[in-house]
Structure 1
Amino acid sequence: MLKLKDIAEVEVGSEFVDIYSNKDGHPSASLVLKQNPGSNANTVIAEVKAKLAELKKDFPPGIDYEINYDVSKFVDASIEKVLHTLIEAFILVALVVFVFLGDWRSTLIPILAVPVSLIGAFIFMQYFGLSINLITLFALVLAIGIVVDNAIVVVEAVHVKMAEEHLAPFPAVKKVVGEISGAIIAITLVMTSVFVPVAFMTGPVGVLYRQFSLTMAGAIVISGFVALTLTPVLCAILLKNTHGKPKRKTPVNMFIDWFDRSFERVTGKYTRFLTLIVNRRVITYGILIAFGFGIAGINKILPAGFIPSEDQGQVYAIIQTPPGTTLERTNEISRKLQHLAKEVEGVSSVTSLAGYEILTEGRGSNAGTCLINLKDWSDREHSVKEIVEELEEKTKDLPANIEYFEPPAVPGYGTSDGFSVRLLDKGSDVDYQEFDRVNADFLAALKKRKELEGLFGFYSAKYPQYEIFVDNALAVQKGVSVGSAMENLNIMIGSTYEQGFIRFNNYYKVYTQAGPEFRKQPSDILNMFIKNNRDEMVPYSAFMKIKKTQGPNEIARYNLYISSLINGMPAKGYSSGDAIEAIKEVAKETLPNGYDIAWEGLSYDEARRGNEALYIFIVVLFIVYLILAAQYESFYLPLAVLLSIPPGIFGSFLLLKVMGLANDVYAQVGLIMLVGLLGKNAVLIVEFAVQKHNKGATVMEAAIEGARARFRPILMTSFAFIAGLIPLVIATGPGAVGNHTIGASALGGMLFGTVFGVIVVPGLYYIFGKMQEGRHLIKDEDENPLSEQFVESGSESALTNRIKKIIKRLINKNEKDNNS
Structure 2
Amino acid sequence: MPKFFIEHPVFAWVVAILISLAGVISILNLGIESYPTIAPPQVTVTANFPGASADTAEKEVTQVIEQQLTGIDHLLYFNSSSAANGRVTITLTFETGTDADIAQVQVQNKVSLAAPRLPSEVTQQGVVVAKANAGFLMVAALRSDNPSINRDALNDIVGSRLLEQISRVPGVGSTNQFGAEYAMNIWLNPEKLQGYNLSATQVLTAVRNQNVQFASGSVGADPTPEGISFTATVSAEGRFSSPEQFENIILRTDNNGATVRLKDVARVTVGPSSYGFDTQYNGKPTGAFGIQLLPGANALNVSDAVSAKLDELQPTFPQGVTWFAPYESTTFVRISIEEVIHTLVEAIVLVFLVMLLFLQNFRATVIPTLVIPVALLGTFFGMYVIGFTINQLTLFAMVLAIGIVVDDAIVVIENVERIMSEEHLEPKAATQKAMTQITGAVVAITVVLAAVFIPSSLQPGASGAIYKQFALTIAMSMGFSAFLALSFTPALCGAFLKSTHSTKKNWVYRTFDKYYDKLAHRYVGVVGHTLKRSPPWMIAFVALMVLCGFLFTRMPGSFLPDEDQGFAVAIVQLPPGATKIRTNEAFAQMRAVLEKQPAVEGLLQIAGFSFLGSGENVGMGFIRLKPWDERDVTAGQLIQQLNGAFHSIKGAQIFVVNLPTVQGLGQFGGFDMWLQDRSGAGQEALINARNIVLGKAAEKQDTLVGVRPNGLENAPQLQLHVDRVQAQSMGLNVSDIYSSIQLMLAPVYVNDYFAEGRIKRVNMRADDQFRAGPESLRNFFTPSTTATGTDGQPAMIPLSNVVKAEWNYASPALNRYNGYSAVNIVGNPAPGRSSGQAMSAMEEIVNNDLPPGFGFDWSGMSYQEIIAGNAATLLLALSVVVVFLCLAALYESWSIPVAVLMVVPIGVLGAITFSMLRGLPNDLYFKIGMITVIGLAAKNAILIVEFAVEQRAAGKSLREATLEAAHLRFRPILMTSFAFILGVLPLAISTGAGANARHSIGTGVIGGMVFATVLGLIFIPLFFVVVRRMLGEKLDEQSKDYLVAQNDGGTHHPDR
Superposition TM-score, scaled by structure 2 size:
0.71
Q: Specify the alignment match of 1:83 in structure 2.
A: 341
Matches within 5 A, 1:225-264: 225-243=483-501, 245-247=502-504, 253-264=506-517
Q: Is the deviation greater in 488-497 or in 131-140?
A: 488-497
Match for residue 635 of structure 2 among 378, 381, 384: 384
CA contact (8 A) 1:526 1:545 kept: no
Name the SS for the 2:510 alignment partner.
helix
Per the TM alignment, residue 21 of structure 1 is displaced from its structure 2 partner at its CA by 1.3
Distance 1:329 1:461, change over 3 A: closer
Per the TM alignment, residue 143 of structure 1 is displaced from its structure 2 partner at its CA by 0.9
- The one-letter code sitting in structure 2 at the alignment partner of 1:384 is A
Describe the superposition over 1:626-647 as per-residue Cα deviations: whole angstroms up to 9, x where unpaired. Answer: 1011112222221111110111
Q: Which whole-Å CA distance do the structure 2 matches of 1:105 and 1:371 have between them?
A: 55
Whether 2:780 is the aligned partner of 1:521: answer no
CA contact (8 A) 1:469 1:544 kept: yes
CA contact (8 A) 2:710 2:826 kept: no
Q: Which whole-Å CA distance do the structure 1 matches of 2:999 and 2:769 have between them?
A: 63
CA contact (8 A) 1:334 1:353 kept: no
Q: Which whole-Å CA distance do the structure 2 matches of 1:689 and 1:110 have between them?
A: 26
Q: Is the deviation greater in 326-335 or in 691-700?
A: 691-700
Q: Which whole-Å CA distance do the structure 1 matches of 2:855 and 2:289 have between them?
A: 35
Q: Specify the alignment match of 2:223 in structure 1.
A: none
Q: Which whole-Å CA distance do the structure 1 matches of 2:970 and 2:826 have between them?
A: 53
Q: Specify the alignment match of 1:448 in structure 2.
A: 699
Q: Which whole-Å CA distance do the structure 1 matches of 2:808 and 2:863 have between them?
A: 36
Q: Which whole-Å CA distance do the structure 1 matches of 2:279 and 2:672 have between them?
A: 26
Distance 1:429 1:659, change over 3 A: closer
CA contact (8 A) 2:740 2:780 kept: no
Whether 2:620 is the aligned partner of 1:404: answer no
Name the SS for the 1:654 alignment partner.
helix
Describe the superposition over 1:455-483 as per-residue Cα deviations: whole angstroms up to 9, x where unpaired. Answer: 22254654222222334444455554434
Q: Specify the alignment match of 2:914 in structure 1.
A: 655
Q: Which whole-Å CA distance do the structure 2 matches of 1:596 and 1:199 have between them?
A: 33
CA contact (8 A) 1:526 1:544 kept: no
Q: Which whole-Å CA distance do the structure 2 matches of 1:420 and 1:488 have between them?
A: 43
Distance 1:353 1:471, change over 3 A: same
Q: Is the deviation greater in 371-380 or in 456-465?
A: 456-465
Whether 2:422 is the aligned partner of 1:164: answer yes
Match for residue 565 of structure 2 among 312, 318, 321: 312
Matches within 5 A, 1:482-497: 482-497=734-749
Match for residue 960 of structure 2 among 685, 692, 701: 701
Q: Which whole-Å CA distance do the structure 2 matches of 1:508 and 1:517 have between them?
A: 26
Q: Is the deviation greater in 81-90 or in 586-595?
A: 586-595
Matches within 5 A, 1:789-804: none
Unaligned runs of 5+ in 2: 1-249, 252-260, 787-793, 1034-1039
CA contact (8 A) 2:559 2:868 kept: no
Specify which structure has the higher proportion of strand: 2
Q: Specify the alignment match of 2:1002 in structure 1.
A: 743
CA contact (8 A) 2:639 2:658 kept: no
Q: Which whole-Å CA distance do the structure 2 matches of 1:740 and 1:341 have between them?
A: 29
- The one-letter code sitting in structure 2 at the alignment partner of 1:24 is N
Q: Specify the alignment match of 2:973 in structure 1.
A: 714
- The one-letter code sitting in structure 1 at the alignment partner of 2:691 is A
Name the SS for the 2:270 alignment partner.
coil
Per the TM alignment, residue 67 of structure 1 is displaced from its structure 2 partner at its CA by 0.6
Q: Is the deviation greater in 573-582 or in 519-528?
A: 519-528
Describe the superposition over 1:540-592 as per-residue Cα deviations: whole angstroms up to 9, x where unpaired. Answer: 34443222212223334434544333222110110111111111111112233
Per the TM alignment, residue 695 of structure 1 is displaced from its structure 2 partner at its CA by 2.5
Per the TM alignment, residue 430 of structure 1 is displaced from its structure 2 partner at its CA by 4.1
Superposition TM-score, scaled by structure 1 size:
0.90
CA contact (8 A) 1:190 1:680 kept: yes
Distance 1:310 1:353, change over 3 A: same
- The one-letter code sitting in structure 1 at the alignment partner of 2:621 is C
Q: Specify the alignment match of 2:273 in structure 1.
A: 15
CA contact (8 A) 1:21 1:353 kept: yes
Q: Which whole-Å CA distance do the structure 1 matches of 2:420 and 2:711 have between them?
A: 78
Unaligned runs of 5+ in 1: 787-820
Q: Which whole-Å CA distance do the structure 2 matches of 1:352 and 1:72 have between them?
A: 20
Specify which structure has the higher proportion of helix: 1
Describe the superposition over 1:71-103 as per-residue Cα deviations: whole angstroms up to 9, x where unpaired. Answer: 111111111111111111111101111111111
Per the TM alignment, residue 538 of structure 1 is displaced from its structure 2 partner at its CA by 4.5
Q: Which whole-Å CA distance do the structure 2 matches of 1:313 and 1:671 have between them?
A: 29
Name the SS for the 1:278 alignment partner.
helix
Name the SS for the 1:308 alignment partner.
coil
Identity of aligned residues (%): 37
Distance 1:380 1:493, change over 3 A: same
Match for residue 576 of structure 2 among 314, 317, 323: 323
Q: Specify the alignment match of 1:190 in structure 2.
A: 448
Q: Specify the alignment match of 1:346 in structure 2.
A: 599
Larger Rg: 2
Match for residue 288 of structure 1 among 510, 526, 541: 541
Describe the superposition over 1:253-312 as per-residue Cα deviations: whole angstroms up to 9, x where unpaired. Answer: 222123223322322222222222225441342232121122133234432211111111
CA contact (8 A) 2:557 2:869 kept: no
- The one-letter code sitting in structure 2 at the alignment partner of 1:416 is F
Whether 2:935 is the aligned partner of 1:682: answer no
Matches within 5 A, 1:408-807: 408-428=660-680, 430-431=682-683, 433-449=684-700, 450-459=702-711, 462-525=714-777, 528-531=780-783, 534=786, 537-772=796-1031, 783-784=1052-1053
Distance 1:15 1:179, change over 3 A: same
Distance 1:495 1:563, change over 3 A: farther
Whether 2:315 is the aligned partner of 1:57: answer yes
Q: Specify the alignment match of 1:808 in structure 2.
A: none
Q: Is the deviation greater in 198-207 or in 522-531?
A: 522-531
Q: Specify the alignment match of 1:795 in structure 2.
A: none
Distance 1:537 1:772, change over 3 A: farther
Distance 1:8 1:133, change over 3 A: same
Name the SS for the 2:269 alignment partner.
coil
Q: Which whole-Å CA distance do the structure 2 matches of 1:52 and 1:336 have between them?
A: 32
- The one-letter code sitting in structure 2 at the alignment partner of 1:353 is I
Q: Specify the alignment match of 2:119 in structure 1.
A: none
Q: Specify the alignment match of 2:25 in structure 1.
A: none
Q: Which whole-Å CA distance do the structure 2 matches of 1:40 and 1:183 have between them?
A: 42
Name the SS for the 2:324 alignment partner.
coil
Q: Specify the alignment match of 1:174 in structure 2.
A: 432
Q: Which whole-Å CA distance do the structure 2 matches of 1:526 and 1:646 have between them?
A: 81
CA contact (8 A) 1:124 1:214 kept: no
Per the TM alignment, residue 655 of structure 1 is displaced from its structure 2 partner at its CA by 1.0
Structure number with the bigger relative contact order (C-alpha 8 A, sep ≥ 6) is 1
- The one-letter code sitting in structure 2 at the alignment partner of 1:467 is Q
CA contact (8 A) 1:634 1:772 kept: no
Q: Specify the alignment match of 1:794 in structure 2.
A: none
CA contact (8 A) 1:335 1:352 kept: no
Q: Which whole-Å CA distance do the structure 1 matches of 2:686 and 2:795 have between them?
A: 44
Q: Specify the alignment match of 1:44 in structure 2.
A: 302
Q: Which whole-Å CA distance do the structure 2 matches of 1:782 and 1:283 have between them?
A: 37
Number of residue pairs the alignment of both structures matches: 775
Distance 1:43 1:178, change over 3 A: same
Match for residue 396 of structure 2 among 132, 135, 138: 138
Q: Which whole-Å CA distance do the structure 2 matches of 1:474 and 1:772 have between them?
A: 102
Q: Which whole-Å CA distance do the structure 1 matches of 2:668 and 2:934 have between them?
A: 34
Q: Which whole-Å CA distance do the structure 2 matches of 1:488 and 1:783 have between them?
A: 101
Matches within 5 A, 1:27-38: 27-38=285-296
Describe the superposition over 1:492-511 as per-residue Cα deviations: whole angstroms up to 9, x where unpaired. Answer: 22232232233111331122
Distance 1:458 1:109, change over 3 A: closer
Describe the superposition over 1:654-700 as per-residue Cα deviations: whole angstroms up to 9, x where unpaired. Answer: 11111222221111111001111111111111111222222223333
Q: Which whole-Å CA distance do the structure 1 matches of 2:531 and 2:610 have between them?
A: 66
Q: Is the deviation greater in 190-199 or in 452-461?
A: 452-461
